[in-house]
A and B are shown apart, each in its own frame.
Chain A
């Protein structure tokens, strides 16, 4: 109930915001920081936002509506059943398990991708030779492979009967490592594939940030004789924060709703090991046809994503202002 109220108030807020922004734009000329007073200008911002907003608010509203019904592909008609779907999920162990899996998956992939991405970026930045010059471009390539295809390729490589990774592992005496087939290693496998595809994104952002750092503070720090770690913590990191926050934002939000990789890998198995919120919603909605019952899973996910995202963005803008101010 409070959830719904929150959502409704959020929705009202959004609508109010839109109205306000439209009127504000009409008066934008007064508090404009730019002297161009063409009338068309304020509408620039409205156009793309409107373009997509309608596209997203309507499906969102429809989704909320359907979550309150027994809508199912299977049944020719459906009825309004109020909060029954919502109550069911709160009481089901399936839902809480899905929440746990979602958090686990998101946590591990994001942490590894951020750490690895930043680390590689630093290494690339510190060493400027032909090798690293090539690497800087070539390391982006994994990002260009669609996650579903990457999963299929990896699965083939990890197959115990005929896969190349297995053959390489055999050389060091490891045989029949289950990878995605065992509950204890399935998450590891999924995270590994996600990391393989997406770390490049973090590397790009971190490297860009590193390469636009001003030289002077670092030179003075060197003269002052600070240790590398000190320099990193108090100089590099704060100035990198805007880039890192964006990378964190995109990766974390994507990881929270990832389902394509897991579906292609194990369809959520073994058992329920990898059934996160997204995949559970997909299964219930598209495979079992119970769309009304599936929507609460994904709506909860979206609410969580929005809250976390807002927090990160707030910090990102603050860090950006700080970085700009330091100049």
Chain B
């Protein structure tokens, strides 16, 4: 009887001790502002979800190719099986929308951009990641969440209120890579023609015009995107637009009002239209990211005002005819503006978790592995994925050795990164608005539909205000 009592007592003490011990936990405080860290770091085990199968949807891109090349290693480390599909960007988001709307939980993980978060988060498609990041039992101790550049990780945070800027709220996704927008030019052509790199918008226009047909009848000054969708507005155009002082929406009395009829907006758009008409491709309105970059690489365009890595991919060895000849500058300044006004727009390819996923913890393992420091170092160097979101990688010798080869690339980014953010006002009708915007731009360049830029922008502004009219801003 006595022996029994003692053993029961011992057992109780043991259990109590364990419970207390667990509760104490490690004090890994991670960056997340308002969530306390939970979980015990000792409980973290890469093999915790062995046997699960994850479905991942990728957009066809260098970033995803790099991830795919390391999926075998991930499978070995965790015992999680990964099934994935990779779709070209033209159709990727349409397909993703359909999949998410079915709420079937497939895919568990998907690639996305920052703007899509403004649609998906209010619809309840994305799982907020804060609780995973701050849970030491779910996140590897090496993860080092603080290592991400503030602007980059902040752009993926939003509080779901239309009109509120990014940076506050839940963490909706983790970054794979990002893009700023700057001017890339062919330094060989500039040297041969004794041309200085333009630093103001006036200079840009002049230089660009002077370079028309520099290499035969089909060559031209500056390559720009022009297709009828958001991809035309958000790179070069939006960066210059913001530098000029333009804004897309303002909050007035709890509603979003479009500001595209402001003086700056009209002036900048007028300039842009002129730049295209007088010095860009004759097929501008069908030009995607790829055609614009390819023309630079083929030596048919002397300049490119687009995403940072667009020119980068053309410049790498064997990438194109003009490999090694591309150099980078920053954003040409409108009159009265200085370097501090340079406001590059930032685009972030990232990965997010489906809120309906049946394998959330396993999905988080996938997310943290492929945004972890070890993988990102590989991606930034051998994986041909420049523009790393991690400071540790960006400041490493290996990364600088590889990416630093691009003339002026890292320097330009250093200048632009401090003021770079998402220049758009977050709201769920982003894609509809920017598509209309692009269509108007196309009309201005290719037709006489509008008697002036002012008329076009005023009509556009009214239209967009109407589109967002059912949104309430608190």
Contacts and interface: CB of A to CB of B under 8 A. Distances in A.
In the complex they form, do A and B come into direct contact, defined as C-beta atoms under 8 angstroms apart?
yes
Contact of B283 (A160, A267, A287): A160
Interface of A: 73-76, 155, 159-162, 166, 170, 175-183, 264-272, 283, 286-289
Contacts of A75: 123
A271 B286 contact: no
Contacts of A289: 97, 101, 119
B229 A267 contact: yes
A163 to B, nearest CB: 9
Contacts of A181: 226, 282-286, 446
Contacts of A272: 439
Contacts of B449: 271
Contacts of B432: 288
Contact of B228 (A160, A162, A266, A286): A266
Interface in B240-289: 281-286
B429 to A, nearest CB: 8
Given A181-B282, A271-B447, A286-B98, A74 B228 contact: no
B196 to A, nearest CB: 25
B71 interface: no
B298 interface: yes
A175 B212 CA distance: 14
Nearest to B430: A288
B468 interface: no
A140 B256 CA distance: 55
Contacts of B123: 73-76
A289 B300 CA distance: 38
A76 B125 CA distance: 9
A182 B431 contact: no
A62 B431 CA distance: 26
Give 7 closest A-B pairs by Cβ, nearest first.
Answer: A269-B228, A181-B283, A161-B300, A271-B443, A176-B282, A73-B101, A270-B285
Nearest to A284: B432
A162 B101 contact: no
Given A269-B227, A271-B447, A287 B285 contact: no
Contacts of A266: 227-228, 285-286
B404 interface: no
A286 B97 contact: yes
Contact of B435 (A73, A265, A283): A283
A160 B97 contact: no
A269 B100 contact: no
Given A161-B298, A175-B218, A155 B286 contact: yes
A54 to B, nearest CB: 21
A178 B97 contact: no
Interface string B146-170: 0000000000000000000000000
A176 B284 CA distance: 11
Nearest to A272: B439
A223 B211 CA distance: 71
A183 B447 contact: yes
24 contacts: A73-B100, A73-B123, A74-B428, A75-B123, A160-B218, A161-B218, A161-B298, A161-B301, A162-B295, A170-B217, A178-B283, A181-B446, A266-B227, A267-B227, A268-B228, A269-B228, A270-B443, A270-B445, A271-B442, A271-B443, A271-B446, A283-B435, A286-B98, A287-B97
B294 interface: yes
Contact of A73 (B97, B283, B439): B97
Contacts of B122: 74
Nearest to B428: A74
B439 A161 contact: no
Interface string B428-461: 1101100100111011011101000000000000
Interface string B287-317: 0000100110010110000000000000000
Nearest to A179: B283
Nearest to B291: A159
B395 interface: no
Contact of B431 (A166, A177, A180, A287): A287
In the complex, which of the residues B90, B98, B286, B429 has the most CB atoms of chain A within 10 Å of its own CB atom? B286
Nearest to B120: A74
A267 B228 contact: yes
B119 A74 contact: yes
A264 B432 CA distance: 19
Contacts of A182: 285, 446
Interface in B108-158: 119, 122-124
Contacts of B93: 287
Given A162-B300, A176-B218, A265 B446 contact: no
A44 B282 CA distance: 59
B282 A160 contact: yes
Interface string B210-248: 000000011100000011110000000000000000000
A319 B207 CA distance: 67
B192 interface: no
A224 B94 CA distance: 64
B446 to A, nearest CB: 4
B217 to A, nearest CB: 5
A183 to B, nearest CB: 5
A286 B229 CA distance: 14
Contacts of B283: 159-160, 178-181
